[in-house]
Amino acid sequence: MPKSKGKTEVLQKCPTGILGFDEITGGGLPKGRPALVCGGAGCGKTVFAAEFIVRGATEFNEPGVIMSFEENIDELTKNFASMGFDLKSLIAKKKVFLDYVFIERNEIEETGDYNLEGLFVRLSNAIETIGAKRVVLDTIEALFSGLSNTIILRAELRRLFRWLKDKGVTVIITGERGEGTLTRYGIEEYVADCVILLDHRMIDQICTRRMRIVKYRGSSHGTNEYPFLIGSTGFSIFPITSVGLDYKVVAERVSSGISVLDQMLGGKGYFRGSSVLISGTAGTGKSSIAIKFAESNCKQGKKCLYFAMEESTSQIVRNMHSIGINLEPFIKKELLTIHASRPTVVGLEMYLVNMHEMVKRVKPDVVIVDPVSNLASAGVDSDVKLMLTRMLDFLKGKNITCLFTDLAHSGSTEVGRTELEISSLMDTWMLLSNLELNGDHVRTVRVIKSRGMGNSSLSYKFLLSDNGVKISEVFKNKYNVFARE
């Protein structure tokens, strides 16, 4: 009988713990191999590397060594304290070994005998002292800053990478971007097993950061550019195109808070965990329907997280009194959390990171974004749509019902177009209109689509008064029919 073939050995991964990165790479950096993080000044190379060490020590029980050639120990500990990285505590617990190596350029002699033996001894001692599994060298340019002999430099670079690989530790080496090459010397990217490029750019006077994995030996990975942020908790990367449509759905329904609207949606309201879009021109009552949905859930003891982009919390509370809705009790009981902030204050990516963090902290049953079209003022439309796709999948993966209001183009047709063209992403889409008939203004609401349920195809009169939100008779009552998508 023929001998059975052995199993193919799969490249092991070292999880970084950096938000979004491990998803893009399918598990993290190549375990026991060197990776290169390169980019221009201020792009976040050192922050990425330090977070890799801190997350390893605190989340994966893997001690790490940071060897810096530019900043001393005091400077590093102070810099990372601002992001909540307590390096002093980790050093005291022997979870992190921090070493500063000062290299004076004029002290380096360019001879054929120049080598890195002294560095190897020092680094080896640091690794053995705490049993390190992770190592960071920051930055490689400082290590070779005094060398102009290309032959020596290239030979020592290759030897450095080989020595690190033989040590069996997972390594990040940071490097400055060169002219026409990823790095200054143009060889680091060839000898590293993984190359990560960070970029800091300005688009339409808006600062934005992007990350790209240039290569990853022995592993598939996301190859696109991914937006990332450096916030109070470190790196946050948005792996937009790596999201899969694998979240589970339920048949349970949740009331819209308006009985007639529930009847328009097959008699039971929205599916729990689905996405709802309410579009219309200014003044059609989008926010009122959204708030009514929030009130309905809060009355049932469910948590609602409301992102307001045009009004302050106090203004929303005051205005809702005019239609008989009192939000103060729900806010006091922490059933309703209102986050009022304009996206332009922090930028598109930071605003969406804040949304992610608040969802994780509040753990809501319902998320409302009012109006989602304001995100367009903080970024390019294509980026906004991709970010919203990611946010929708994030919320659906947690089975959170999400409702978005969106400003429709003025003068649009009855079906209408939304500012961001996101209606195709939504499970339920309702269009509000403000019509003028014989000198009177009449509000109407119509369900354009609602996936997976029977829904009315008619337009209904929609009223706002002291008694609340009311949907009355059919506006055009020629056929009392229901449509199924």
Give the three-state DSSP class for 302: coil
User: What token pair was written down for 170?
Assistant: 């997972």
Reference 77, options 100, 94, 55; nearest CA is 100
Rounded to the nearest 10°, the torsion over CA 369, 374, 375, 377 is: -170
Specify the length of the chain in residues. 485
Helix/strand/coil percentages in the chain, nearest 5? 35, 30, 40
One-letter amino acid of 114:
Y
419 tagged catalytic:
no
Q: What is the Cα–Cα distance from 50 to 64, expressed in whole angstroms?
A: 10
For residues 375 and 388, the answer to whether their CB atoms sit within 8 Å is: yes
Q: What are the distances in angstroms from CA 378 to CA 205, 309, 312, 372?
A: 10, 12, 19, 11
CB atoms inside a 10 Å sphere around CB 168? 11
Spot the catalytic one: 70, 71, 225, 357.
70
User: In 3-17, which positions are buried (b, 16+ CB within 10 angstroms) versus exposed (e)?
Assistant: eeeeeeeeeebbbbb
One-letter amino acid of 297:
N
What do you get for the CA distance between the two ends of the chain, in Å?
58
Place of tokens 């047709």: 413
For residues 331 and 304, the answer to whether their CB atoms sit within 8 Å is: no
Q: What is the Cα–Cα distance from 84 to 50, expressed in whole angstroms?
A: 12
Spot the catalytic one: 59, 310, 328, 485.
310
Q: What is the Cα–Cα distance from 34 to 191, expressed in whole angstroms?
A: 9
DSSP state, 24?
H
Q: What is the strand order of the sheet 194-203 is part of?
A: 96-100, 64-68, 134-138, 170-176, 34-39, 194-203, 206-216, 226-231, 234-237
Angle between helices 73-81 and 45-59 (to 10 degrees): 80
Reference 173, options 152, 159, 194; nearest CA is 194
For 206, the enclosing helix (H) or strand (E) is strand 206-216
Burial (Cβ within 10 Å: 0-12, 13-18, ≥19) of residue 356: middle
Give the three-state DSSP class for 457: coil
70 tagged catalytic:
yes
Give the CA diameter of the chain: 95
Q: What is the Cα–Cα distance from 142 to 103, expressed in whole angstroms?
A: 7
For residues 172 and 48, the answer to whether their CB atoms sit within 8 Å is: yes
Q: Which residues are catalytic?
A: 70, 310
